[in-house]
Amino acid sequence: MAEATPILMFVALIAALAAGYPVALTLAGVALAFAAVGIGAGTFEASDLGFVPGRIYGIIDNQTFIAVPLFVLMGVTLERTRISETLLGSLSLLMGRLRGGLGLAVTLVGVLMAASTGIVGATVVTMGLLSLPTMLRHGYDPRIAAGTICATGTLGQIIPPSIALVLLGDVLSGAYQQAQLNQGLFAPQTVSVGHLFAGALLPGLVLIGLYLVYLLTVARMRPERMPSQPVEARPRAGLGMTIAKGLVPPLLLIIAVLGSILAGVATPTEAAGVGAAGAVLLGFAYGALRASTLGAIARSTLETTAMVFFILIGATIFSLVFRGFGGEELVQDLFRAMPGGVWGAVAIVMLVIFLLGFVLDFIEITFVVVPIIGPVLLGMGLDPVWLGVMIAINLQTSFLTPPFGPALFYLRGVAPPEVRTTDMYRGVVPFVGLQLVMLAVLTVWPRLATWLPEVLYR
């Protein structure tokens, strides 16, 4: 019975979360409840709980995590100051002559928003309020409009720089070192958030390219579903200046943040500081940042940051108790017994993460699941950057897949009544297919994720 305790812990956790209990409190509460029972039964060492304060201090002292509130501040500022709305208007003007140009503009703005926020719910809701009425007003098929917004809203899982990759990169770094220590390598190699940013860049760009090719194909084959913007709706006077003002500053900001990381000029934390400060300066420059707006931005940033760190503390306690019951050894034994060796283990893990994505956010999966399976898979010889990119795209696919994909529920909450839920389901299916193609390409050709980090950080 004692050997099955780690499995019972995980089942109890999923059941409590499905019942609607707060994530952070559930993680810590389930762990401490099982620890108390284990201490009474003599199957858990009470002294193991003595490591909790040190782990919490390690979270607070982690320099990488400072990037989280800074990237959140950057994304919230771009959203609340309506810079993203100006960006959409500029791209729509630029691409208005193309059939389906508005759809392409929405995709590109969604990419930039996803990169700056990295939070699926925030991006989908923002793009839904911003873009969906405009697309419908210009005669777009509701399926195309909803599918485009949901798909681009989930790109925050894979497009750097984003919070999702910051958190995943730090957790994978610890898992990689743990895997090497388990193998007796006491001078382990390191992998950083910058490595994961570099690894995710090319797959992310390829995925965006697949989205754009699909939209262009639909616009050509079924023009009635994606009509061009009417000529009279496109002002000509001062068009170049309008586009430049709305497009160039935010684009340069995001390029500066990502470019400084990839070039090795700045760490992700330093680059996040530049991004946050730049977003605030842009808000003042556009005349959209006032005292009331600044207060709302600060409050939203504080709430999101507190949520992330509260979950991280709960996940740390859960992971500590899980390992104290021998959970890591149990996972290792299960993976070794799977048919197909390492690829069989990868397939099972990806399936589990895909299913968990229906009910858990990327933060819970990153902090709970990855620390458990990461050291085991990496100990089997997998590349940490490749594994991180695969997990990110897998989660992105899960968040988009009907009927339980969270992105669909986020959009349903802000979509007008004329956009039916079935329209959303049918609209995202082609994008889910494109993401599955991307996963298959990465499986067959892992160098797509590992080549750039090797070039930049060798």
Render pLDDT for 337-361 as a digit per residue (tens, 0 to 9). Answer: 777 778 888 888 898 888 888 777 7
For the cut 60, the answer to whether the pLDDT of residue 231 exceeds it is no
DSSP 263-306: TTSS-HHHHHHHHHHHHHHHHHHTT---HHHHHHHHHHHHHHHH
User: Residue 230: its pLDDT value, please?
Assistant: 59
Helix (H, G, I), strand (E, B) or coil at 98: coil
* Per-residue model confidence as pLDDT tens digits over 50-65: 888 888 888 888 777 8
Q: What is the 3-state secondary structure (H, E, C) of 303-349?
A: HHHHHHHHHHHHHHHHHHHHHHCCHHHHHHHHHHHCCCHHHHHHHHH
Listed range (12-26, 85-99, 312-326) with the worst mean pLDDT: 85-99
Please indicate whether residue 185 or residue 37 has the higher confidence score (pLDDT): 37
257 close to 277: Cβ distance less than 8 angstroms: no
Could you give the angle at which helices 384-400 and 421-444 cross, rounded to 10 degrees? Answer: 160
User: Residue 232: its pLDDT value, please?
Assistant: 47
430 close to 390: Cβ distance less than 8 angstroms: no
Could you give the angle at which helices 193-221 and 447-457 cross, rounded to 10 degrees? Answer: 140
CB 234: neighbour CB atoms within 10 A? 15
Q: Tell me the average pLDDT of the chain.
A: 82
For the cut 70, the answer to whether the pLDDT of residue 307 exceeds it is yes
CB 224: neighbour CB atoms within 10 A? 9
Cβ burial, residue 458 (10 Å; 0-12/13-18/19+): exposed
79 close to 108: Cβ distance less than 8 angstroms: no
339 close to 51: Cβ distance less than 8 angstroms: no
User: Residue 192: its pLDDT value, please?
Assistant: 82
Domain ranges of the chain: 51-457
pLDDT exceeding 70 applies to what percent of the chain? 92
For the cut 90, the answer to whether the pLDDT of residue 435 exceeds it is yes
CB 341: neighbour CB atoms within 10 A? 11
* Cis bond before residue 250 (omega within 30° of 0): no
Cα separation, 210 vs 212, whole angstroms: 5
Helix (H, G, I), strand (E, B) or coil at 34: helix
* Per-residue model confidence as pLDDT tens digits over 176-215: 888 887 777 766 777 888 889 889 999 999 999 999 999 9
User: Residue 390: its pLDDT value, please?
Assistant: 93
Inter-CA distances, 285 with 92, 114, 153, 279, 290, Å: 22, 23, 27, 10, 11
Please indicate whether residue 397 or residue 22 has the higher confidence score (pLDDT): 397
Q: Which helix (H) or strand (E) holds 258?
A: helix 239-262
226 close to 140: Cβ distance less than 8 angstroms: yes
DSSP H stretches of helix in 51-162: 52-60, 67-80, 83-95, 101-117, 120-137, 142-153
Q: Which two tokens stand for residue 184?
A: 């007796």
Q: Tokens 């002002």 sit at which residue?
A: 235
Cα separation, 166 vs 194, whole angstroms: 9
- Name every residue whose Cβ is closer than 8 Å to that of residue 198 and which is 6 or more positions away in sequence: 160, 262, 385, 452, 453, 456, 457
For the cut 50, the answer to whether the pLDDT of residue 133 exceeds it is yes
Could you give the angle at which helices 23-41 and 5-18 cross, rounded to 10 degrees? Answer: 150
378 close to 183: Cβ distance less than 8 angstroms: no
User: Residue 268: its pLDDT value, please?
Assistant: 81
Letter for the amino acid at 396? Q
Helix (H, G, I), strand (E, B) or coil at 404: coil
CB 373: neighbour CB atoms within 10 A? 22
